[in-house]
Structure formats: structure tokens, C-alpha cells
Structure 1
Amino acid sequence: MASKLSELQSAAAQASKYVAKNGPSYYKQLMEKNKRYIKNPPTIESCQLLAKQLFYTRLASIPSRYDAFWKELNSMKQVWNKRKEFKNEDYRIAALFGVGWVVECYAWFFLGEVVGRGFTFTGYYV
């Protein structure tokens, strides 16, 4: 256990040295590359103004998102009403998407469990 701790400490020291050496140049490069997104002067007031603009912009987008939701729901109702005209291929495609969705949900659950345990594989998954 002590050897792993010393290895971890040396790795952390190397990472710290790397960040100390390359961090400022990376920061300058990043800021130069994205300077069109920077609000000058960078004051608390300008940050508060941007936060308010973001909030009210998102608030203003609710009606269009509401309309898009009802449009999507109506298209799903039309598909449901035409279900008697479906062929076997249509059912197969729907089943394929359904199975894919279930597999994706399980994969996210599994990944969350692994991350929650500190990236260790134990228990039922072995």
C-alpha cells in the first residue's frame, strides 16, 4: 500500500510540474483562440448582465420549444393512428430502436455505477 501511495505521489508531482510548465502558455493560447467570446471589460457587472441575458433568452425560447413539443407529439399521434398499415419491416425497425434505447440506458447505468465505485469492477459485473 505504501508503494502505491509513493507512486501516486510521484505521478501527482510530475503532473503538477507539467501543468506549472505548460499551463500559462495553454491558457494564453486558449484565450487568444476564443477572444471573440470574451466580454470586455471583465467585470462583475458585465457577468451579471450576461447572466440576465442568458436567463431571459432561455425564457423567451419557451414558446418555440413548446410549439416544437406539440408538433412532435402530433406526429407521434399520426404514426400511432397509422399503426394498422405497418408492415413487418416497420415493426422490426421499431424493435431495433427500442432495444438500442434499452441497451443505452443500461450502459449509462453501468457506467454510473462504475464511476460511483471509483472506477472499480466488483460485485455482479465481474
Structure 2
Amino acid sequence: MASKLKSLQSKACQASQFISRHGNVYYKQLLEQNKEYIQEPATIEKCNLLSKQLFYTRLASIPGRCEALKKELDYVKQLWRNKKDLKVEDAGIAALFGLEIYAWSCAGEIVGRGFTFTGYYV
């Protein structure tokens, strides 16, 4: 156990040294590549304006999303009406989708309880 801890500590030290040497270069390169998205001057007013624009743009996109959801539900209803014509692939996709929703629900419950499986703080 002590050897594994020593190895892990050594790797963490190497990673820290690598980041301290190359992190600044990566940061500058990233900013240079994405400079068209940077607002100058970066004032509080500009940040507030951008956050409001994002919020209201997302709010305005809700009707389009609702329309897409209605189309998806209509497709599912059509599949349900024609169950006889249902292919194994479609049933498999539906089963995987249901399983994914269940898994995300379980993960959300675990996160909501503070990453405990029993619900009690230990």
C-alpha cells in the first residue's frame, strides 16, 4: 500500500511539474485561438448584458424545442400504433433509452444525497 501511495505521489508531482512548465503556453494558445469570442473591454456591464442575452436567447428557443418534442412524441405514438411492424433495432434503441434515463435518475439521486448510497452521512 505504501509503495502505491509513493508511486501515486510521484506521478502527481510529475503532472504538477508538467503543468507548471507547459500550462502558461497552453493558456496563451487557447486564448489566441479563441480571441474572436473575447469581449473587450471585459466590464461588469458587458458581462451582465451577455448573460441576459444568453438567458433570453435560450428562453426564446423553448417553443422550437417544444415543437421538436411534439414531433418525437408523434413518431413514438405512430410506432406504438404499428407495433406489428416494429423492428428489433427500434425496440433495442427504446430499451437502451429507457435504461439510460433510469441510470441518470439513479445517479441524480446519489449526487443529491451527497454521493452516499445509503442516504445517511457516514
Question: TM-score scaled by structure 1?
Answer: 0.66
Deviates more, 1:97-106 or 1:59-68: 97-106
Q: Which has the larger radius of gyration?
A: 1
Residue 11 of structure 1 corresponds to: 11
Q: Which runs of 5+ in 2 are unaligned?
A: 117-122
Residue 25 of structure 1 corresponds to: 25
What is the deviation of 1:48? 1.8
What is the deviation of 1:103? 6.4
What is the deviation of 1:91? 3.7
**Secondary structure of 1:78's match?**
helix
**Structure 1 vs Structure 2: percent identity of aligned residues?**
50
What is the deviation of 1:11? 1.8
Q: Are 1:35 and 2:35 counterparts? A: yes
Residue 79 of structure 2 corresponds to: 79
Q: What per-residue deviation string (whole Å, max 9, x for no partner) do you get for residues 42-94 of structure 1?
A: 222222221111111111111111122222222322333333xx34xx34233
What is the deviation of 1:99? 4.4
**Secondary structure of 2:39's match?**
coil
Residue 124 of structure 1 corresponds to: none
* TM-align CA RMSD: 3.0
CA distance in 2, matches of 1:66, 1:92: 29
Structure 2 vs 1, CA of residues 77 and 7 (structure 1 numbering), >3 Å: closer, same or farther? Answer: closer
Paired positions, count: 109
Select the residue among 84, 92, 96 that pairs with 2:92. Answer: 96
